Amino acid sequence: MQRRYEQLMRKCLSLAKKSEGYVSPNPLVGAIIFDDDFRIISQGRHEVCGRNHAERNAILNAKEDLKGKSLIVNLEPCSHYGKTPPCADLIIENGIKKVIIGMVDPNPIVSGKGIKKLKQAGIEVITGVLEKECTELNEIFIKNQLYSKPFVTIKTATTADGKIATKEGNSKWITDEISRREVHKLRNKYDAVLTSSDTVMKDNPQMTCRLKGGRNPVRIVLDTNLKTDPKSKIYNKDGTRVIIITSEIVSREKTKNYPSDVEILRCPEKDGHIDIKKAIELIYQQGIRSILVEAGARLNNAVIQTKSADKLIQFIAPKILSDKEAISFSQGCSRREIADCNNLIFISTKQLKNDIMIIGKFVD
């Protein structure tokens, strides 16, 4: 039985994943209704923020009576009146007899109450099926709900000796086109990309998602002194929100050089640079729930040292630069002991064409 539930839960997860990039600030949810012989009756997913929840779509998609059937979903059904009425009520009204759930909803207005409601109506509830996988799928939503902070991932492309560029800033191209395609997939998924004035001035990146049918993330530049050229590609007008975070003391005159649709936010400084922790708070206040940091050694280091990073995605090319002045992807501390390292847990490795992709979670 457990194995059959796990199979169906995997299906819920891949259904839910189809909405990646479109549901923020909501969770990714997929639901399936099936009978006692595990025949699938219908399925549904939460497609876009503000629209029907997954359970409602699965129920609406059913072409037969749901009395006595079972429903499996990766997140606890909701119990509150939000943009839509409670899914738990709908499940009860339809006479569903069993509900299998991946994880409890971290949203305090729901957490546990959806399960309680179902049980009180006499429905059999099974929880914790593929809980780890369900938690991973909704890592952004969970961080937002528990800490009211955005989920922050550092993406970097390095040589096998951990270098991102020569001393002169030459970095094209370390990884191959397959790895770079993966980066576009990430841009399609995250609410925003965050970079620094250094990277804008050195690389003049577009920071757009160039996948067919993809969507652009919000582009955010940390530019303490407004040094970046207002004609940089990142400020191109393409209908995507662009934000510059600058110092509180930069003159109003300077801000007028930038295109009028570029939003300029002011943030306190720390040691001559934007205070990264405060900047991240500011970004969250803008409704941005996940950030992909695509920057150089200094900003990556600031994000790591302030313990603002949740995840590292490192693309490693089978190349060794060996240059004594080359730049590492995180640089800026003075450390004498290995014990002073920031620590990660590697959660996955993937061989791409020539490169490998390593995903690590920060643990301290």
Q: What is the contact surface with ligand AOF in residues (CB under 6 A)?
A: 26-27, 29, 46, 53-54, 75, 78, 82-84, 87, 105, 107, 110
Q: Is 64 labeled as catalytic in the residue annotation?
A: no
Query: CB under 5 to 8 A by kind: which of ligand AOF, Zn ion, none does 18 bind?
Result: none
Distance between terminal CA atoms of the chain? 38
Query: CB under 5 to 8 A by kind: which of Zn ion, ligand AOF, none does 110 bind?
Result: ligand AOF
Active-site residue among 47, 55, 64, 133?
A: 55
Cβ of residue 66: shortest distance to Zn ion, in angstroms?
16
Instruction: Using the minimum distance from each CB to ligand AOF, give the nearer residue, 141 or 190.
Output: 141
Binding residue count for Zn ion, defined by CB under 5 A: 3
Main-chain dihedrals φ then ψ at residue 109, nearest 5 degrees: -75, -10
Instruction: Using the minimum distance from each CB to Zn ion, give the nearer residue, 89 or 269.
Output: 89
Give the C-alpha separation, 70 to 325, whole Å: 62
Query: CB under 5 to 8 A by kind: which of Zn ion, ligand AOF, none does 107 bind?
Result: ligand AOF
- Can residue 117 be called a binding residue for Zn ion (CB under 5 A)? no
Closest CB to ligand AOF: residue number: 82
Cβ of residue 78: shortest distance to ligand AOF, in angstroms?
4
| Contact characters 37-56, Zn ion, x per CB under 5 A | ----------------x---
The single residue listed with the structure tokens 């980066």 is 183
Query: CB under 5 to 8 A by kind: which of Zn ion, ligand AOF, none does 276 bind?
Result: none
Cβ of residue 85: shortest distance to ligand AOF, in angstroms?
9
Provide the sign of the torsion angle of the four alpha carbons 26, 30, 31, 36, taken in this order.
negative
- Give yes or no for a contact between 135 and 103, defined as CB atoms under 8 angstroms apart: yes
Give the C-alpha separation, 60 to 81, whole Å: 18
- Give yes or no for a contact between 323 and 164, defined as CB atoms under 8 angstroms apart: no
Cβ of residue 156: shortest distance to Zn ion, in angstroms?
37
- Give yes or no for a contact between 289 and 130, defined as CB atoms under 8 angstroms apart: no
Q: List for the chain the helix, strand, coil content (%; round to 5).
A: 30, 25, 45
Please report, as a single letter, which amino acid is at residue 288: I
- Can residue 87 be called a binding residue for Zn ion (CB under 5 A)? yes
Of 23, 78, 234, 344, the one binding Zn ion (CB under 5 A) is: 78
The single residue listed with the structure tokens 């409601």 is 117
Query: CB under 5 to 8 A by kind: which of Zn ion, ligand AOF, none does 243 bind?
Result: none
CB neighbours of residue 39 within 10 Å: 9
CA atoms within 13 A of residue 323's CA, in its CB half-sphere: 15
CB neighbours of residue 59 within 10 Å: 24
Binding site for Zn ion (CB under 5 A): 53, 78, 87
- Enzyme catalytic residues: 55
